Amino acid sequence: MTRYGMTPVSRARTVSLRHVWTVDLGLEVPAMLVGGVLLFRRQSLGYVLAPGLLLQFGLRPVALAAGMAFQPVLTASPIDVPTVTGLLVFAAVSFLPLVYLARSTRGT
């Protein structure tokens, strides 16, 4: 144990989570909000931003679900089915508007 009762591994994990939160809340959420407002106003930049943001928001939970599904193989622990299912539902919610956008721009 070190200062603050944390091991070096748990401290590194906490620091890495702070970086993820910073990127999520500082870059991705504002970009999603700006993209959504631009789409709502039917401006062309919104149609340019939306597919990339939706793809990114859909691929992350797929990657997390894959990691959680393979974790029991490596650690001999039980799989967390509700969390994997929730992540895949979140991915589907992100991918459905992406499919709609792709279909609506196919004719142009």
Q: What are phi and psi of 6, to 5 degrees?
A: -115, 140
Model pLDDT for residues 24-47, shown as the tens digit of each residue: 778 888 888 998 899 899 998 988
DSSP 47-84: HHHHHHHHHHHHHHHHHHHHHHHHHHHHH-----HHHH
pTM for the complete prediction?
0.66
Average pLDDT over residues 84-90: 93
pLDDT in the model for residue 78: 87
pLDDT in the model for residue 7: 56
